[in-house]
A and B are shown apart, each in its own frame.
Chain A
Amino acid sequence: MSKTYFTEDHEWVSVDGDIGTVGITDFAQQQLGDVVFVELPEVGKSLDKGAEVAVVESVKAASEIYMPVAGEVTEANDALADDPSTVNSDPTGAGWFMKIKIADTGALDGLMDEKAYEAFVEGLD
């Protein structure tokens, strides 16, 4: 049974064992608007929490995607190269960016759960 955590930078990470699947939230894709390009991370790279790992470009602007927790990139969602708009249509499903091997699953405790994230987004307006 996987559990999903959220960052204040609007990434989600769905965790199964020590493998996390990372994407951006529905709120984030709405803010970005039409996604036209995703620069996917290099597989095999180990990065700290908060490190820039990917870039998502909308018609208007480029935005960095950050590591939600420290870990190693084990897989990138190559399907986004062909159809970046999947990030808009299914941000928490087929629009995932990458899978990571989480260095310390205990670090996930520092992230928000869905309820806390919803309250966080409410507070942004």
Chain B
Amino acid sequence: MTDPTTTDNTDALKATPLNALHRAHGARMVPFAGYEMPVQFPAGIMKEHAQTRNAAGLFDVSHMGQAILRGPDPEAAIETLVPGNIAGLKTDRMRYTQLTNVKGGILDDLMVTRRADHLFLVVNAACKDDDIAHIRSGLPAGHEVEVLDRGLLALQGPQAAAVLSRLIGSAEGDAVAQMPFMSCRDSAFDGVEVLISRCGYTGEDGYELSVPSDKAAGIAERLLDQPEVEPIGLGARDSLRLEAGLCLYGHDIDTTTTPIEADLAWSIGKRRREEGGFPGASVIQQQLRDGAPRRRVGIRPEGRAPAREGAVIVDENGAEIGRVTSGGFGPTVQAPVAMGYVAAGHDAPGTRIGLVVRGKTVPATIAALPFVPQNYFRSAAGSKT
């Protein structure tokens, strides 16, 4: 048997503030984006996945990059680098956007939160050094980026709000439970100042907590002490986000894919579409007008054999029309699921395609994303970003 966990890349890995806690919980640790990270806990990926869908899971995402962008007009400054409508964000609201290059390709995807006098950025672990250098070099004079050395915890699942509001307690706990999706709030957890964002990467309701590094393990332990919460590794994080139809940088999106090809046009507001003013705007505007040559789609293979990243996608005549960029087994769907790019004209849900898996063509169908309905929190007021 080939060992899927074998790796020789164990030198000089960085540790997150939760490293010892992961080990204490029996995690299997693997190298990921320069960090030693838990891929799974003793429960296993299937149970961890179900735990997050049904109750609450705690993820260590401290490997991701956190930074603050300051200056006289941080919203206008970041808009020179991303197509998202950041100036249109209200204070303490956040948005998903991308750093683009001059060809409209994606250098990274990121979350941008508008604070009273600065922007709070969260970028991917593998890209963070390049992202920070790129942002710094592109900023107008007077703006600066401060990289934060903080822990980041994600509490995800339908019980996340109940757990967090109970631990925080009183009126503040109630306020945390009522936070709109894609908003943030300065709060306190056991006397520790934390920045709570209602967002995540699982398709479920949940939060991300930016916490001081030296307090991260203590906060994580308090959360894990709750009966609804279990620790979740990167394996289930990947299967959850795949079912939720969310992109993984370096796989579903990269410098060769534009936000339009990646089916992320929803993340580009009307004003930015019209005005442009971000790298690759002409390419992206042209694709918005005329359509992109290819598009990211959901794929449902027939049978039980998963199709993995790199599998060739063919049309009904056997001609190559694209490639799978993420694929595996969807524990909630209870069937294999995949995402990939197909040439324009083959992207309608229901289109019959084939996937070449180990030399054999497996029949499959283009499917609407997400594979599992998203359960993001909608406040009583129906507030929506």
Residues of A within 8 A of B308 (CB): 61-62
B329 near A57: Cβ-Cβ < 8 Å: yes
* With known contacts A59-B235, A59-B239, A59-B331, A37–B306 Cβ distance under 8 A: yes
Within 8 A of B (CB), among A91-118: none
* With known contacts A55-B358, A59-B46, A59-B239, A32–B4 Cβ distance under 8 A: yes
The residue in chain A whose Cβ has the minimal distance to the Cβ of B335 is: A36
Residues of A within 8 A of B49 (CB): 59
B1 near A24: Cβ-Cβ < 8 Å: yes
* With known contacts A57-B306, A59-B329, A60-B235, A31–B4 Cβ distance under 8 A: yes
Residues of B within 8 A of A32 (CB): 1, 4
B16 within 8 A of A: no
Q: Which one of A33, A60, A84 has the greatest number of beta carbons of chain B within 10 Å?
A: A60
Q: Which one of B2, B49, B331 has the greatest number of beta carbons of chain A within 10 Å?
A: B2
A39 near B305: Cβ-Cβ < 8 Å: yes
A13 to chain B, nearest CB (A): 13
Q: Which of B3, B45, B331 contacts A31 (CB 8 A)?
A: B3
B1 near A37: Cβ-Cβ < 8 Å: no
Residues of A within 8 A of B336 (CB): 36-37
Bound-complex Cα distance A57 to B239 (A): 14
The residue in chain A whose Cβ has the minimal distance to the Cβ of B39 is: A60
B3 near A33: Cβ-Cβ < 8 Å: no
* With known contacts A28-B1, A31-B5, A56-B1, A37–B304 Cβ distance under 8 A: yes
Residues of B within 8 A of A11 (CB): 1
Bound-complex Cα distance A105 to B179 (A): 68
B164 to chain A, nearest CB (A): 28
Residues of A within 8 A of B85 (CB): none
A74 within 8 A of B: no
A68 to chain B, nearest CB (A): 10
B34 within 8 A of A: no
Within 8 A of A (CB), among B328-346: 328-329, 331, 336
Instruction: Scan B49-83; emit 1 where CB is below 8 A from any A CB, else 0.
Output: 10000000000000000000000000000000000
Instruction: Scan B331-371; emit 1 where CB is below 8 A from any A CB, else 0.
Output: 10000100000000000000000000010000000000000
B202 within 8 A of A: no
Within 8 A of B (CB), among A47-92: 55-66, 81, 84
Residues of A within 8 A of B358 (CB): 39, 55
A57 to chain B, nearest CB (A): 5
B200 within 8 A of A: no
Could you count the A-B residue pairs with CB atoms below 8 Å apart for me: how many are there?
Answer: 68
Bound-complex Cα distance A36 to B329 (A): 7
Bound-complex Cα distance A25 to B358 (A): 24
Bound-complex Cα distance A9 to B3 (A): 8
Bound-complex Cα distance A124 to B18 (A): 25
A26 within 8 A of B: no
Bound-complex Cα distance A56 to B45 (A): 16
A60 near B328: Cβ-Cβ < 8 Å: yes
Residues of B within 8 A of A55 (CB): 358
A34 near B44: Cβ-Cβ < 8 Å: yes
Residues of A within 8 A of B239 (CB): 59
Residues of B within 8 A of A28 (CB): 1, 3
Bound-complex Cα distance A3 to B104 (A): 62
Bound-complex Cα distance A87 to B46 (A): 15
The residue in chain A whose Cβ has the minimal distance to the Cβ of B234 is: A60
Residues of A within 8 A of B304 (CB): 36-37, 81, 84
A88 to chain B, nearest CB (A): 8
- Contacts A10-B3, A37-B304 known; list 19 others, CB within 8 Å: A32-B4, A33-B44, A34-B44, A34-B45, A34-B331, A36-B336, A37-B306, A39-B305, A56-B1, A58-B4, A59-B328, A59-B329, A60-B328, A61-B308, A62-B306, A62-B308, A63-B4, A64-B2, A65-B1
- State the A residues within 8 Å of B (CB): 9-11, 24, 28, 31-34, 36-37, 39, 55-66, 81, 84
Instruction: Give 18 CB contacts A-B under 8 Å.
Output: A9-B2, A10-B1, A24-B1, A28-B3, A32-B1, A33-B44, A34-B331, A36-B304, A37-B306, A56-B1, A59-B46, A59-B49, A59-B239, A61-B308, A62-B306, A63-B2, A63-B3, A63-B4
